[in-house]
Chains A and B, each alone.
Chain A
Amino acid sequence: MSLVIEDPRVVEFDVQTDEMLVNMGPQHPSTHGVLRLLLRTDGEIVHECTPHIGYLHRCAEKIGENLSPPQYIPYTDRMDYLAAMNMNLGFALVVEKLIGMRLPDKAVHLRVFIAELGRIASHLVGMGAYGLDLGTFSPFLYAFREREIILDFFEEVCGARLTCSYLTVGGATHDLPEEIEIPDGLASLTGSKPGERYPFFDVIEMFLQWLEPRIWEYHTLLTRNAIFIKRTAGQGILTPEMAISYGCTGPVLRGSGVNFDLRKNGEEIYTSMYKGYDFEVPVAPFKDAPREAVVGDNWCRFYARMMEVVQSIRLVRQSIEKYKSATGSHRESFKMNTKLPKDEAYLETECPRGQMGFYVVGNGEGNPLRVRAKSSCFCNLSITDQICEGVPLADVPAIVGSLDIVMGEIDR
């Protein structure tokens, strides 16, 4: 750009700066996958932050039109691959709602057990990866050490670690095992003999007892860390009105002080699963928040997630007790060629990242007429433009990281 200066002496009093377009991603390590952010900056200050998505788009909704519901379950794994069990559950429930299927108690409590373990594993990644975004490496290693053991349990239960396809229409593919070999990671952490076989629920209890005190260690390591608080508290504030208008859900919404959790406030088919369970929904403001924290900032979103882990541990313990005394089978039969009625159903479930919704339209055939997957991260990401305005460039990863997005789910 050419600038005509009449009197060279006035230059220093009239410094003209240009706005700059900075491209961040889609291969940037702190954008959690293939997210591309186009930033319009004035020096260090971000004026506009436009997310560009779709790099992982494979039109999973179209695939759903050509498959029967049980065949579609593996595709839901690959949406939010960090919480595959919860995604399976969401899709299985909406098909059950459509065909009016009710499950035996045993299958219901098995699902709660698996879904809450999945939530713990997912939030552990959320915590570890957020630490990485802010430049601290060690919480990530601790988080993955714990998550590894949960994945070992999933492997014992269904054979897969990441893309489980375990919860399916009508219950679950297998029943839980009676006894398992203690996972190597857990054996070395608890000082047990590797390779020893124990009853399944005893190993789970061993793990939970080991995990519970660790959560408070994470808080001393990360949550109460002075640098972490400086980077997160009072930054990226999302007001409750904006959160609701932009469809934010899950920990992002509750971090903004809106008490809404589908496990308590959802539709009957979903809340009935959690009937008789005793748990709390952590909502900002938190009593033990640092002085600098404001409702709706990065810190509150992060802390809401961490407090959910504590509640999920409680839920896992309760579900074990209920599963042991439950009657019935772990699954109702659902034949591959079952015709879906000429009807439609929509259901949202509380996944770790927010409310994941599935909408299935049947038309008297085995394959649905339309499958719609409403992504929670898609809605959570849509506010980046609003809350990144006017922040320094270095805070953009801190804000985007606090939303805890998974691109597989956004792009579908």
Chain B
Amino acid sequence: MNIQEVHSILLEKFGAEIVGTEPKKATDSWIQVKAESIVDVGRFLKDDPRLSFDHLNDLCGVDYLEPDPKKAPKFGHEPHVEVVYHLTSMKYHHLLKLKVSVPRWKNDVAGQLPVVPSVSGVWGIANWHERETYDLVGIDFVGHPNLRRILCPEDWVGHALRKDYEFPLEYHGVRGR
């Protein structure tokens, strides 16, 4: 099943406000999903017998920001953060990519993490992938049972894959740089 067919099934079920009027074109085309509805869409994709996307390959965050003001005009993206979901159906062997877009900071207050509902109840592996995304990209997955840092130590400050991340000069007496 190609992405066009998947999208028309989703469009019929959820409407254009949630899944957009058509898939976004790229090497791997994707469906842009409204952040608040990602759990419903995910559960439907997994449970619907025509789709049966039972395997979450990957979940990651991407930070779109050009910190260098000289390069910023050519950057071509509004500053925002995306969560990308790659899905496979083990039954039909078809693939799907979903994206959720949120502002870089909640209410535009620096330091307040943007909010995306957690899909850990839909796919088991999302639990660890969301912890990693929280740890490195800084996204608050609401409804996650155990949203702790996974790769960095618990007392680490900041989220390393943010484009404006500042490398710490010192950690517990160990000099950085």
- Which residues of A are in contact with B by a Cβ distance under 8 Å? 53-54, 57, 59, 61-62, 97-98, 100, 242, 244-247, 258, 260, 265, 267, 342-346, 348, 355, 357, 359, 361, 363-364, 369-370, 372, 374, 378-379, 382-383, 411-412
Whether B113 is near chain A, meaning CB under 8 Å from some CB there, is no
How far in angstroms is the closest Cβ of chain B from A129?
A: 23
Number of interface residues of B (CB under 8 A): 37
Whole-angstrom distance between the alpha carbons of A100 and B76 in the complex? 22
Whether B43 is near chain A, meaning CB under 8 Å from some CB there, is no
Q: Which residues from A are CB-within-8-Å of B76?
A: 342, 363-364
Whole-angstrom distance between the alpha carbons of A190 and B153 in the complex? 51
Return the chain B residue nearest A411 by Cβ: B151
Contact of A244 among B55, B77, B149 (CB under 8 A): B55
Does the CB pair A379–B152 fall under 8 Å?
no
Whole-angstrom distance between the alpha carbons of A370 and B27 in the complex? 16
Task: List 7 A–B pairs whose Cβ atoms lie within 8 Å, in order of A's numbering.
Answer: A53-B150, A57-B151, A242-B124, A247-B55, A343-B27, A357-B57, A359-B84
Given A54-B153, A59-B160, A342-B76, A372–B58 Cβ distance below 8 Å?
A: yes
Identify which of residues 84-130 in chain B touch chain A, using a CB-to-CB cut-off of 8 Å.
84, 86, 90, 93, 95, 97, 123-125, 127-129
Does the CB pair A244–B60 fall under 8 Å?
no
Q: Which residues from B are CB-within-8-Å of A59?
A: 136, 160-161
> Would you call the interface of chain A mostly helix, strand, loop, or mixed?
mixed
Contact of B27 among A247, A344, A363 (CB under 8 A): A344
Does the CB pair A62–B160 fall under 8 Å?
yes
Whether B28 is near chain A, meaning CB under 8 Å from some CB there, is yes
Return the chain B residue nearest A258 by Cβ: B90
Q: Which residues from A are CB-within-8-Å of B150?
A: 53-54
Q: Which residues from A are CB-within-8-Å of B77?
A: 363
Q: Which residues from B are CB-within-8-Å of A343?
A: 26-27
Does the CB pair A382–B124 fall under 8 Å?
yes
Given A357-B86, A379-B125, A244–B62 Cβ distance below 8 Å?
A: no
Does the CB pair B62–A370 fall under 8 Å?
yes
Per-residue CB contact flags for chain B residues 56-68 toward chain A (1 = under 8 Å, else 0) read 1110101110000
Identify which of residues 61-85 in chain B touch chain A, using a CB-to-CB cut-off of 8 Å.
62-64, 74-77, 84
